[in-house]
Chain A
Amino acid sequence: QVHLLQSGPEVKKPGASLKISCKSFGYNFTNFAINWVRQAPGQGLEWLGWINTHNGNTNYEHKVMGRITVTTDTSASTAYLELRSLRSDDTATYYCTRDGLQLVDDALDIWGQGTMVIVSS
């Protein structure tokens, strides 16, 4: 069954760094791009970044540029989100989600279960 499994919840102090993993199951990992999206408590969805899992090309949201790095380990069919210099407003649930490409005209068709991140002193 096609799904994405994310790492567990995190509690971080301001200024620290975060690294979340997203492992894919049930499909060829390098055939589909991965996006990262977050949702602050009670708020809407915010796109953070994208990675072409085949060649490693990335694209990031300007708001987090300089603090974010998205990488992959293709041998482990896993994508990673790293966010540095954490602030309280980075507190959110973080989702990885697959770009379904030609299957669904680039819509985000598969979502991980989410990783809750709390940034607090």
Chain B
Amino acid sequence: LVLTQTPLSSPATLGQPASISCTSSQSLVHSDGKTYLSWLHQRPGQPPRLLIYNISNRFSGVPDRFSGSGAGTDFTLKISRVEAEDVGVYYCMQTSRFPLTFGGGTKVEIK
């Protein structure tokens, strides 16, 4: 099960929106009806941290400028207004089935 992220790199403008896509080679809908697609953010030199789970649920403490959407095989992470602390690499990840897999990552940097 391959997750493909686009773009690989996203030069962002402070205060402007940014968007990252994640496409799965197979449907991520589990037999229980849920879709176990999450988004992680990793700053340089730090471990990843969870942003979004189950497509669109923000993890505790995540600002509401982050939102997730999608269904089936196509998913999107949006940042409504990019802030300086949002730089780093974003990964989508599926935990619907083993082996767990990650997207290749999208690097967000400020223009």
In the complex, whether A46 has a CB less than 8 A from a CB of chain B is yes
Residues from chain B with Cβ under 8 Å of A109 in the complex:
50, 53, 59
- Classify chain B: how many residues form its interface, as a range: 20 to 34
Which of B10-18, B70-78, B79-87, B93-101 makes up part of the contact surface? B93-101
A45, A62, A95, A111 — which one has the most chain B CB atoms within 10 A of its CB?
Answer: A45
Interface residues of A in 94-110 (CB under 8 A from B): 95, 97, 99-100, 104-109
- Which DSSP category, helix, strand, loop or mixed, fits chain B's interface? loop
Total number of A residues with any Cβ neighbor in B under 8 Å: 23
Q: Given that A47-B102, A61-B99 are contacting pairs, would A104 and B50 also be in contact in the complex, using a CB cutoff of 8 Å? A: yes
In the complex, whether B54 has a CB less than 8 A from a CB of chain A is yes
Contact, CB under 8 Å: B36 / A106: yes
Chain A nearest CB from B49 CB (Å) reads: 7
* Chain B residue with Cβ nearest A114: B47
Chain A interface (Cβ within 8 Å of chain B)?
A: 35, 44-47, 50, 59, 61-62, 95, 97, 99-100, 104-109, 111-114
When A and B form their complex, which 6 residue pairs have the shortest distance between CB atoms, in order from nearest?
A107-B53, A107-B38, A105-B54, A111-B47, A47-B100, A45-B102
